[in-house]
Amino acid sequence: MYIGIDLGTTGCKTVMYGAFGEVLCEYNREYELIFKDGFVEQDANEWWRLVCEGLSYVVEKSGVCDVRGISVSTQSISFVPVDRNGRTLDNAVSWLDLRADRQCARILERFGEKHIYGVTGKFCLSDYSLPKLMWLKEHKPDIYFAADKILFPLDFLNFKLCGRAMCDYTVAGGSMAYDIHNRCWSKELLDFAGIEESKLPEVGCMGEKVGMLLPEVCKVCGINEGCTVYLGGQDQKLAALGAGIEKDVCTVSFGTATAISKLCENDGGASLFRFSNSEYISELALMTTGAALRWLSRTLYGSMSYKEMDALAENSAPGAGGVVFESDLSSGGAIRGLTLSTTSADIVYALYEGVSRDIAKAVESLGGADRLKVFGGGAKSDIWCRILARVANIPVEVLDTAETASLGAAMLASEYKIPPAGVKKILYPENN
């Protein structure tokens, strides 16, 4: 049996899978972000507590203690300083935190956007880890110098599970300090930032064996000794893996925000990651997709359920009666074309069309695709997926599970004995 763990931004999911990928048991708990002095932080000890709880729960409920492999999918970019025993020295700095604007500007001034992208596959943004590592050293030098390691969520959990602080290419690639082409930490970027490479984790390819589950972890969680920990990766990339990403296919993680991913060559106009020893993956994110629908529900429709909004949208038609919904509410959206004949159904339909247009543009900018594999909360909306197929003019495959990140981790833990998600239905453009 195999276990896939998915540590997201505000929750931890642990799933026990059978030999053929069937779900035997799952655990899901949320945890809180810490808002402190205008910063966004997390308690990394909570990450580990929930992982231990999840492992213990799925082992007890399934009655399976002979676990052959464990792998972890995690949020990226966040980091926590630890001592040589893995004890946290401070809160983790969340990927949502934007404290390092000044440090980011200094990096950009020194290297320029083109060079930074050429090395790291990232545009120079204060979301990424390198500027925030500079901030930590400059504003909390006592913690920085006391830290034996500064770990991302994946390598932090791997250290706790098997004693080896190791992350993969996709997690390291989110730091804006990793040379994705030469597969090493960038000496020039680290030297400029004043960050010692020795403080950063070891990096490998997802699917590698990290080590054996520690005896004390086995005892606490009820797992027989002899379980192997396999190297996982960043959650959106493992979600793409679990969705069955392949050449000429885009995966669409359709949730509060939406991530569109595609295997690609070593260039592009989007965030680029090393995916494996021989492949790259490119990703574009839409910040308010499901979040825009939630806003519409709460603001204009009295907290109408999503099923009710789907039913309402069925009463409109392509073009939404001339209504256009620009759905990126993170930077200033808009609803245009309202008239006295506009119906509430038109507005919902216009939102679905607006998000679908944004997804279609993202797919086009990634080089196009023969198929879209769609999963997440938005994939539960039949009318939204039909609209997406029509607007993008690409067949849409709706997967049989929304939770593909933990499945991707389990695929790695099983050495790919477990297959990716299956297809529940296919929606063709000409039929929608």
Walk along the chain (432 residues) in steps of 10 and give the mean pLDDT of each run: 93 94 93 88 96 96 94 94 97 92 96 95 94 97 97 98 98 96 97 97 98 96 96 95 94 89 80 94 90 88 88 96 91 92 95 95 93 92 96 95 92 96 93 75
User: Which residues fall within 8 angstroms of residue 307, CB to CB, at 6 or more apart?
Assistant: none
pTM above 0.85, yes or no: yes
- All domains in the chain, ordered by first residue: 2-235 (3.30.420.40), 245-399 (3.30.420.40)
Report pLDDT digits (tens) over 86-107. 999 999 999 989 899 999 999 9
Q: Which residues sit opposite 233 in a β-bridge?
A: 73
Say what the pLDDT of residue 397 is. 96
Position 60 scores a pLDDT of: 94
pLDDT of residue 268: 60
pLDDT at residue 36, as a whole number: 82
Q: How far is CA 398 from CA 168, 216, 425, in A?
A: 28, 41, 5
